[in-house]
Amino acid sequence: MTIRDRVSALLAEHGIPSAAIGVLRDGEITEFAVGVKDVETAEPATPDTVYQCGSMTKTWTALAFLQLVDEGKAGLDEPIRTYLPGFTVADPETTAKVTARHLLNHTNGIEEAFGNPGEGDDIYERMVENVADAPQVFPLGHTHGYSAALGYAILARIMEVLDGKRWDDVLRDRLFTPLGLTGTNSRREQVDETRAATGHLIRSLAEGPIVTPMAYLPREFGPGGGITSTVRDVLTMAHVLLHAGLAPDGRRIVSAASVREMLRSRVPVPDPYQFGPAWALGLIVCDWHGETVYATDGSTIGQNARLRILPDSNTAVAVLTNGGPRESFARKVFHEILGNVPELPKPDPALKLDLPRYEGVYERPGVRYEVSAEGGTLHLTLDVDPVRAEFLGKPARLGYELLPVSPAHFLMPSADPLEDTQTVAIYDFADGAARYLHTNCRVHPRRGSSISTPART
């Protein structure tokens, strides 16, 4: 069975309308597409089909920011207030000390409390203004906790101030045009709709994929999730990272020193299994049986983008899809092409845990996890967003058993065949009970625990 045949079978198995797959090896790109761009039109996908990249956008934003570092206009470790003198959040220490590095590697800890900044061209300026009273999820630099929108919006605003143009124009002028990315855009109105894939969700395999009710993410996610691209353009960006900052035509995009810094500046991820054990500057760091592999992933409401970069073999593989479960499909495709892809760990039934230390409510605005001990095991209950639950036909509360892998790490399998097994970290026991729950890269403090001062781990 060919790779194309295998991908076709996987699409049917997962209820995904289409996928565009590309492999960059030793500077040469091989690409193909399978399936349809939209189930209602049945128009076939091609390698030129444009998909939404979601948080893969963060890698582009990081590259553009590092160009400013190369030019001496910005620094990774200078306080944000050096460039945005009016920047303020609720915590005085974070206000004074937060840096671009904290934003790039998701250790800033600022709650994404930026209100409704609108959709105008001043959106990132407004987001910065709106976080003046934003609290800390955790103390500055204490742990990794993913910022879907705010962290990279602050970076975008710095770039706007330093370059004197809007972030969308910064990315166009610094990356898209020099790299010749004719299928890549940061604004929805710039997308060629004749080439665009439509996002899909799936409520059941019997019903099949349905068109997403949310065609695009709001503009507030732009610097962290707003780029649309083709599989070839994604691999062109990967070429820059594999070749010390050089474009395929030999043009210098970013310095070799900045690429090294992107790859080597890392912080540990509390849940190391879902994506990887460390986070670099705009990249995830994975360990594939001792081989270091870099990843940049993204999802919107119905589209997904996955990229794996393997420096040891001078290879990158991109997978873009317009529906379905996120991780299991991409993991299987990467395994078909690359082999050696690590599986999730197995639970350790011999572990004896002090269950009351894990119990509690862990929450952020709009997200609530309740961990309880029942029958000698830990269980997690998730409150589902009511609108999403109604659309997908899910209950308002979902329950899972937590299977321990280590004293801090758990598998969270689902009885729903459309839902991938997730992993969870419950950690930081300095006060006796755990202080944080980390899953899907996001961190949630335990209700009632203090986050004003770091605890020893």
**Which residues are catalytically annotated?**
55
Q: Cβ distance 371 to 380 under 8 Å?
A: yes
How many angstroms separate the CA atoms of 296 and 58, rounded?
A: 8
Tell me the C-alpha distance between 378 and 165, whole Å.
51
DSSP for residue 191: S
Please name the helix (run of DSSP H) or strand (run of DSSP E) that holds residue 369, with its range, or none: strand 367-374
Q: How far apart are CA 45 and CA 196, in angstroms?
A: 9
CB distance 16 to 321 below 8 Å: yes
Scanning 213-308, the segments in alpha helix (DSSP H) are 222-225, 231-242, 256-264
Rounded to 5°, angle at Cα 239 from 234 and 244: 140
Angle, helices 327-338/3-14, rounded to nearest 10 degrees: 170
End-to-end CA distance of the chain: 49
Place of tokens 């959709």: 119
Amino acid sitting at position 350? A
Token readout for 133 is 């009273």
Residue 246 backbone zone (phi > 0: left; psi -120 to 50: alpha; other: beta): beta
CA of 334: how far to CAs of 51, 54, 76, 127, 308, in Å? 18, 19, 33, 37, 8
- Per the DSSP assignment, residues forming a β-bridge with 318 are 22, 307
Give Cβ neighbours of residue 427 (< 8 Å, ≥ 6 apart). 270, 408, 434, 435, 436, 438, 457
- Residue 176: DSSP 8-state: I
Beta strands in 249-357 (DSSP E): 267-268, 278-279, 284-288, 291-299, 304-310, 315-321
d(CA 24, CA 230): 14
Q: How far is CA 452 from CA 135, 138, 267, 357, in A?
A: 10, 7, 21, 20
Closest listed residue to residue 200, CA positions, set 300, 319, 302, 301: 302
